[in-house]
């Protein structure tokens, strides 16, 4: 989808008027088929043609394909996740890569994008940034969209429908107005993002939404329509661990004690034999508590 030149120009003016810097970041693992096109679209339209984005960063989360090469070829700064803050204990999962990217990226605003989107356009970035650049009261912006599935106009977002919405509706009904609580496209001000913990695995999106609203109020969170999002839909067997991570994250934030044994999802094979699937439920602390981060960005801990 094309973005009107006038809209981009207005955003550039707003960015320059406030001296705001912007990082676009993609956490990626084995996304060589799509990551290069996304990086190229951002760089061509929003770095070179219009000076809206200051850097495009890809955090390579242990890819075994040519993800890093494809992203670097198109002009991204590519960092293996294990080379960011190497003195800290290693983590795993998407949320860990996002947490590390707060240190790796330089912008006052960080715009995160999933790297598996097949119909990516610059409007994914401009629409997420618009509320942050035009309204100082907004600190975090979530995208929402229609999600096709297997050629049908709707049906995507199975974990959202089967787990995230029930968790929110029952435990956090004040968040029920968010159309896509698990959306992987969102942007926020560093000053907010650095103050909240990051779930290391698939619970990161719902954890950020709950924590940011709890800390800064629902009026500081906006959502924008990104139209249609087409991406690599995962098979059902991969969705159970995602759903469990979201359930654990929601229960924790609702004050329910969560036993560490819930880090294993019990399943049964075709012979009805049980087996256990490890689910990442660890959490990284607020980045502002990391001394190396405070030194890099000149931050101080509040009293």
Q: What is the pLDDT of residue 156?
A: 46
pLDDT per 10-residue tile (average), the chain, 303 residues: 67 96 97 97 97 98 97 98 96 96 98 94 96 97 80 62 94 96 96 97 96 98 92 71 93 87 80 86 96 95 70
Q: What is the pLDDT of residue 4?
A: 54
Q: Which fold has domain 5-235+284-297?
A: Spore Coat Polysaccharide Biosynthesis Protein SpsA; Chain A (3.90.550)
The model carries a pTM of 0.92
**Which strand (E) or helix (H) includes residue 231?**
none
Q: What is the pLDDT of residue 259?
A: 75
CA distance 183 to 76: 22
Q: What is the pLDDT of residue 2?
A: 46
Q: What is the pLDDT of residue 1?
A: 43
Q: How many helices (H) and strands (E) does the chain have?
A: 11, 13
Chain centroid to Cα 152, Å, comes to 25
Residue for token digits 């919405």? Answer: 165
**CB-CB contact of 16 with 9 (8 Å):** no
As a dihedral over the C-alpha atoms of residue 128, residue 134, residue 135, residue 138, rounded to 10 degrees, the angle is: 20
**Contacts with 61 (C-beta within 8 Å, 6 or more apart), sequence order:** 27, 28, 29, 81, 94, 96, 97
Residue 19 region by backbone torsions, left for phi larger than 0, else alpha for psi between -120 and 50, else beta: left
CA distance 106 to 98: 14
Q: What is the pLDDT of residue 267?
A: 85
147-180 in b/e form (b: 16+ CB < 10 A) is: bbeeeeeeebbbbbeebbbebbeeebeebeebeb
Helix (H, G, I), strand (E, B) or coil at 117: strand
Q: What is the pLDDT of residue 70?
A: 98
Assigned token pair, 67 = 């993800």
Provide the residue ranges of all domains of the chain, joining segments of one domain with +: 5-235+284-297
Residue for token digits 């560093």? Answer: 190
Chain centroid to Cα 65, Å, comes to 21
């Amino acid at each position: 989808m094309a973005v009107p030149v006038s809209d981009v120009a207005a955003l550039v003016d707003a960015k320059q008027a406030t001296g705001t810097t912007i990082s676009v970041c993609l956490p990626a693992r084995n996304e060589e088929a799509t990551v290069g096109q996304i990086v190229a679209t951002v760089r061509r339209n929003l770095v070179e043609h219009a000076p809206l984005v200051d850097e495009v960063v890809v955090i390579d989360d242990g890819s075994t394909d040519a993800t890093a090469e494809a992203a670097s070829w198109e002009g991204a700064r590519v960092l293996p996740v294990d080379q960011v803050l190497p003195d800290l204990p290693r983590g795993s999962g998407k949320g860990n890569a996002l947490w590390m990217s707060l240190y790796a990226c330089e912008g006052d605003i960080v715009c995160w994008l999933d790297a598996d989107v097949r119909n990516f356009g610059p409007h994914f970035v401009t629409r997420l940034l618009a509320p942050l650049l035009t309204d100082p009261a907004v600190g975090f912006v979530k995208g929402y969209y229609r999600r096709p599935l297997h050629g049908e106009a709707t049906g995507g977002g199975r974990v959202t429908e089967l787990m995230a919405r029930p968790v929110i509706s029952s435990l956090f009904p004040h968040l029920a107005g968010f159309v896509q609580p698990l959306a992987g496209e969102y942007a926020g001000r560093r000053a907010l993002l650095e103050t909240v913990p990051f779930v290391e695995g698939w619970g990161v999106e719902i954890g950020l939404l709950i924590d940011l609203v709890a800390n800064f109020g629902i009026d500081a969170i906006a959502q924008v329509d990104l139209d249609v999002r087409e991406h690599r839909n995962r098979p059902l067997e991969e969705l159970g661990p995602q759903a469990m991570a979201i359930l654990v994250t929601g229960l924790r934030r609702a004050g329910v004690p969560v036993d560490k044994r819930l880090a294993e999802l019990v399943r049964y094979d075709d012979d009805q034999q049980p087996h256990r699937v490890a689910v990442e439920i660890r959490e990284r602390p607020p980045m502002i508590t990391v001394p190396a981060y405070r030194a890099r960005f000149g931050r101080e801990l509040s009293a």
